[in-house]
A and B are shown apart, each in its own frame.
Chain A
Amino acid sequence: MTNSAFPVPGKRFVIGVPYTWLFVFFFLPFLILVYISFVDMGSDIHPFKPLWDTTTGVLKLKYENYWSIFRNGDNGALFETLYIEAYMRSLWYAFGTAVLCLMIGYPFAYFIARSRPSVRPALLMMVMLPFWTSFLLRVYAWKGILADQGIVNQLLTALGIISEPIQMLYTNVSMLIGMTYVYLPFMVLPLYANLVKMDFRLLEAAYDLGTSPFKAFWLVTVPLSKAGIVAGFMLVFIPALGEFVIPSLLGGPENVMIGRVVWDEMFTSNNWPRATALAVVMIGLIIVPLAIYYHYTGDAADDKK
């Protein structure tokens, strides 16, 4: 017997529907994206030229779109372009956000996992609830909270900690607060899932053998939750890298991330080939950590079934 309840024509239909959908709306657009990244910028109403030059009959790939990401002009220094800066900044923010989420989220997930089983669902739901309300609105709220005349500055002034408002909005501070705030649940949930399964008798054994709580935490709890840490880190790092909304609302001109640069190339400069080349490099940046992740965890998740 086959592994399915359906006879062959049914199987073809069940596979065919999502396959066709994904082919047309995921794979095909992706091919077009890569294609345009290798052609010349067009003129007038055509945003790009065909790869096949009809006048000379020559098929020519244009690598210039990619070259121009890495250096200014033909003789410019390598890696000193605005694009590289934007990529580096995106990587830096994504990494900083993931680290902050881990520092805040790890103890948090640990304490939820060690709380009474009866209250855990409620505690978890309270983590999820903000996540279900609009992401955009929650980011926007920080704009009011962190403003020069906002409640944080007013509070700090009233307490006498600062004499005049400090600028937090449109700086690294507001960027990191906003991103940590948004991505924290992505860190907490995998960590919780991991920690709740942990056998805490191992910790007690360590205590009985005379290990200090701090040392036991580092030598027992942390290594056992490595999978959760890595999963949470990836779940924060990857979406944070392509963040578009937070830099637009909480960042200034110096906090531009690569998502915004792609947008500007596409709609402001109308340089489609460069916008697509930037997007392709962006995918590359995401595939590398993912590949490392899968290399170490194995694609067990997919094969286990």
Chain B
Amino acid sequence: MNKWIEKNFGKAWMALVYAFLYVPLLFMMVFSFNSTRQDANFTGFSLRWYEGLTKDTKIVEGFWLSLQVAAVTGVLSAILGTFAAFVLVRYRRFPGRTIFSGMVNAPLVMPEVVIGLSLLLLMVGAQNAFGWPERGLLTIVLGHTLLGMAYGMVVIQSRLMEMNRSIEEAAMDLGARPMQVFFLVTLPNIAQAILAAFLLSFTLSFDDVVISEFLSGPGVNTLPQVIFGYARRGINPTIYAAATLLIVTVTVVIVGYSVWVARQTRKREREVAAAMRAETAALAAT
């Protein structure tokens, strides 16, 4: 009896929640092909909103700016996230460790409004004192990296914690210098997590509105800022077209990444199994 309830109620509940999660995405994909501005009746198929997208200079410029910001943020966050994760996992004792751990994690819980506001105050202060930096790409990157670094650190930290230290020790015993150990042993082992950190902070940056709103200068607008401006004014199917392109891109990247990870894991398992077999064979031979 309760098996039956669980099975069918469970399936129905899951279907409903997945529908809730995907209806907005499907809605935008469908109405991006609509021939009129309406978004309740499908009046006919057309590509006019996609054409409009390529002709909208604000959107095109915003897209390139966002791409640059996200790429730099992704790289910086992955590097700084690796540093921070390494410090937290490997150095248990150093003066100021508690403050350090607090500072790395704080951006995860701080409202973006507060992060944006306080960084804006710093930038204004720096500009008054040194006449630099001009608000724009650089300041947006700094804001996004603060957030991206924290998320990247979490991803890399968990990988670093589950990593087997004995292979590093083996490398050291065989005479590798610390730098060699890091670049030849540690780094390849956490490479997957670093890539994940890059993707995560890239996405966060590419998607962020709030921090960019605080830190961008006049006339410098990222893609989400442009969309946010349009969105507050009302219905604009051009945004649906942009959304559709984004959804397709993200799906391809995520599915591709998952397949790659699964393949890597299987490959490693095969290699381990092969090594084990060779080992047993060698043992048996003696």
B118 touches A30 (CB 8 A): yes
Q: Would you call B172 an interface residue if the criterion is a C-beta within 8 Å of the partner chain's C-beta atoms?
A: yes
Listed stretches B19-27, B49-57, B187-195, B266-274; interface member: B19-27
A262 touches B235 (CB 8 A): no
B5 touches A245 (CB 8 A): no
B209 touches A136 (CB 8 A): yes
A136 touches B231 (CB 8 A): yes
Say how far A203's CB is from chain B's closest CB, in angstroms. 10
What residues on B are CB-neighbors of A197 within 8 Å? none
Q: Which positions 99-129 of chain A face chain B at CB distance < 8 Å?
A: 104-105, 107-108, 110-112, 114-115, 121, 123, 125-129
Q: Give the residue of B88, B100, B210 whose beta carbon is less than 8 angstroms from that of A245.
A: B210
A15 touches B250 (CB 8 A): no
B91 touches A181 (CB 8 A): no
A204-221 interface mask toward B, CB cutoff 8 Å, 1 = contact, 0 = none?
000100000100000000
B79-121 interface mask toward A, CB cutoff 8 Å, 1 = contact, 0 = none?
0100110111111111010001101101101111110011101
Q: Would you call B2 an interface residue if the criterion is a C-beta within 8 Å of the partner chain's C-beta atoms?
A: yes
A262 touches B113 (CB 8 A): yes
B232 touches A249 (CB 8 A): yes
Q: Give the residue of A15, A143, A286 whose beta carbon is less than 8 angstroms from that of B231.
A: A143
Q: Give the residue of A114, A126, A145 whose beta carbon is less than 8 angstroms from that of B6.
A: A114
Q: Give the residue of A6, A19, A133, A249 whose beta carbon is less than 8 angstroms from that of B250.
A: A133
Q: Would you call A18 an interface residue if the criterion is a C-beta within 8 Å of the partner chain's C-beta atoms?
A: yes
A241-B111 contact, Cβ under 8 Å, with A33-B117, A111-B13: yes
Q: Select the residue from B17, B110, B111 with max chain A CB neighbours within 10 A.
A: B111
Q: How far is the CA of A150 from the CA of B20 in the complex (A)?
A: 16
Q: Give the residue of A10, A29, A245 whose beta carbon is less than 8 angstroms from that of B121.
A: A29
A137 touches B227 (CB 8 A): yes
B110 touches A142 (CB 8 A): no
Quick one: closest A residue to B29, CB to CB? A141
Q: Would you call A32 an interface residue if the criterion is a C-beta within 8 Å of the partner chain's C-beta atoms?
A: yes
Q: Would you call A25 an interface residue if the criterion is a C-beta within 8 Å of the partner chain's C-beta atoms?
A: yes
What residues on A are CB-neighbors of B21 within 8 Å? 126-127, 130, 181, 184
B27 touches A18 (CB 8 A): no
A305 touches B87 (CB 8 A): no
A238-B161 contact, Cβ under 8 Å, with A27-B103, A29-B122, A133-B246: no
Q: Would you call B224 an interface residue if the criterion is a C-beta within 8 Å of the partner chain's C-beta atoms?
A: yes
B181-207 interface mask toward A, CB cutoff 8 Å, 1 = contact, 0 = none?
110001000000000000000010011
Main secondary structure of the interface of A (DSSP, over half): helix
Listed stretches A69-77, A81-89, A274-282; interface member: A274-282
A125 touches B254 (CB 8 A): yes
Main secondary structure of the interface of B (DSSP, over half): helix
B14 touches A137 (CB 8 A): no
A144 touches B39 (CB 8 A): yes
B83 touches A7 (CB 8 A): no
Q: Select the residue from A21, A23, A213, A249 with max chain B CB neighbours within 10 A.
A: A21
Q: Would you call B140 an interface residue if the criterion is a C-beta within 8 Å of the partner chain's C-beta atoms?
A: no
B92 touches A275 (CB 8 A): no
Say how far A237's CB is from chain B's closest CB, in angstroms. 10
B239 touches A137 (CB 8 A): yes
**Interface size grouping (class) on chain A:** 35 or more
Q: How far is the CA of A110 from the CA of B11 in the complex (A)?
A: 11
What residues on B are CB-neighbors of A142 within 8 Å? 24
A147 touches B254 (CB 8 A): no
Given contacts A107-B10, A150-B39, 20 further A-B contacts (CB under 8 A): A5-B90, A21-B149, A22-B84, A25-B142, A25-B146, A32-B125, A125-B258, A132-B203, A133-B246, A136-B224, A136-B227, A136-B231, A137-B246, A141-B243, A144-B28, A144-B235, A149-B40, A241-B111, A262-B113, A290-B109
23 A-B pairs whose Cβ atoms sit less than 8 Å apart in the complex:
A4-B90, A4-B91, A5-B186, A11-B94, A18-B87, A18-B149, A19-B87, A25-B142, A25-B145, A25-B146, A32-B118, A36-B121, A112-B14, A126-B21, A132-B203, A137-B243, A137-B246, A138-B24, A140-B243, A147-B39, A242-B113, A276-B117, A282-B111
Please list the residues of chain B having a beta carbon within 8 angstroms of any beta carbon in chain A.
2, 5-6, 10-11, 13-14, 17-18, 20-25, 27-28, 31, 38-41, 80, 83-84, 86-94, 96, 100-101, 103-104, 106-107, 109-114, 117-119, 121-122, 125, 142, 145-146, 149, 161, 168, 172, 178-179, 181-182, 186, 203, 206-207, 209-210, 213, 224, 227-228, 231-232, 235, 239-240, 242-243, 246-247, 250-251, 254, 258
Please list the residues of chain A having a beta carbon within 8 angstroms of any beta carbon in chain B.
3-7, 10-11, 14-15, 17-19, 21-23, 25-30, 32-33, 36, 104-105, 107-108, 110-112, 114-115, 121, 123, 125-130, 132-138, 140-145, 147, 149-151, 153-154, 181, 184, 207, 213, 238-239, 241-242, 244-245, 248-249, 259, 262-263, 266, 272, 275-276, 279, 282-283, 286, 290, 302, 305
